[in-house]
Amino acid sequence: MDSNCAGKNEQLLLFKRAVESVRNGICITNPRLPDNPIVYVNDAFLEMTAYQRHQVIGRNCRFLQRDDRDQVAIENIREAIRAEQPITTILRNYRRDGSIFWNELTVSPVHDENGTLINFVGVQNDISARKEAEKRVSEFYSVISHELRTPLTSINGALSVIADGSAGKVNPQVMRMVSIALENSERLIRLISDILDWKKIESGKFKLNTANISPEQLIDNVIAAVKPLSASAKVSLKKEVSTAAELSVDVDRTLQVLTNLVDNAIKFSPTESTVTISAELRGLDTVRFSVKDQGDGIAPDQLDKLFKVFQQLDSSDSRRVGGTGLGLSISRSLVELHGGQIGVDSVLGQGSTFWFEFYTANSKVTQVI
């Protein structure tokens, strides 16, 4: 009996020391008492909230919310507690002096050997610094959007007027300089657009606006858009469409994906070669778009990099044509937002085929839109 008690006391002491040593705030509540009061907090909890122990024990945790009760996270916590389920969420809490901190909170139920609920354990992590960093990043993207893209668009427009001769004749040397400036301004605009798209997708704020369109219409629009690039690169474009099935997609974003794949295929193709853009029905309700080039192909150890953020192939060709390392990553995200799939088949020395698949408009499969 004495040895058992001694063993349990040693375990409790070890547990207490472990809880007191962690940097996360920890509180334990007793749901068997009225209003589920706090019965234990560690020193990290007190340091995080700036309260003293006697000001905390016996109170419900809601005092940390003050009057800021209109938070989705709070209702989610209540539902989890009612269901005796664990939850991890982020909410605004307030220190004793009224200053705000962002709390990444995990609440877990504790049951005894009979399955009876005896406690809730809350683990708090102050992520205010992370939230402040996210805010600054958001502000940075706002600056990119408004302070850089707007004047760049104006500069690009002015250069285009000079380049097409609308502003009058200029000598060949000046025209070459204008062409270089125009090409680089367009590249910067694409870079800014890619960064903003990536940010929206990462934050979950990207929404699709769907409409019905045929695969052939999409391909025709892309061919018209990339004709100047293909002519300049001396690469032919070939269309192969064997389905008239309608798609329900965000037309602009689907064109963005297809254009990116065709644009890449042209850039990595040798002169006098052909890029084939095709659409076919696979199975009963899936349309596959394919973009096939006659380039050098991609080494197997490079394939995993293709659709990752800020990843480019380690080759002289990729350095020559440039790029942001965002295009394929954004394309993958846009395809997946539609509930589709994207991939590549490539043989070194024989070229590559990039493809993506969407369900048809009348598919019975629920699309993620």
User: pTM score > 0.75 for this model?
Assistant: no
Rounded to whole angstroms, the Cα distance separating 59 from 196 reads: 45
Measuring CA to CA, which residue among 180, 149, 188, 150 is closest to residue 162? 180
- Note down pLDDT in tens along the chain; length 369 residues: 455 655 556 666 666 676 777 789 999 999 999 999 999 999 999 999 999 999 999 999 999 999 999 999 999 999 999 999 999 999 999 999 999 999 999 999 999 999 999 999 999 999 999 988 888 877 777 777 777 777 888 888 888 888 888 888 888 888 888 888 887 887 787 777 777 777 777 777 778 889 999 999 999 999 998 998 899 899 999 999 999 999 999 998 999 999 999 999 999 999 999 999 999 999 889 999 999 999 999 888 888 778 876 556 544 454 445 555 678 888 999 999 999 999 999 988 889 999 999 999 887 654 544
Do residues 40 and 16 lie in contact, with contact meaning Cβ atoms separated by under 8 Å?
A: no
Q: Torsion angle of alpha carbons 94, 99, 101, 106, nearest 10°?
A: -20
User: Could you write out the DSSP letters of every residue in 108-172?
Assistant: EEEE-TTS-EEEEEEEEEE-HHHHHHHHHHHHHHHHIIIIIIHHHHHHHHHHHHHHTTTT----H
Rounded to whole angstroms, the Cα distance separating 336 from 257 reads: 11
* Beta-bridge mates of residue 287: 281, 358
Q: Residue 228: enclosing H or E segment and its boundaries? A: helix 215-233
Give the three-class secondary structure for 350. coil
The torsion angles phi and psi of 24, rounded to 5 degrees, stand at -80, 145
Measuring CA to CA, which residue among 330, 332, 361 is closest to residue 248? 361
Do residues 331 and 257 lie in contact, with contact meaning Cβ atoms separated by under 8 Å?
A: yes
Length of the chain: 369
- 163 to each of 151, 189, 231, 320, how far by Cα in Å? 18, 18, 17, 24
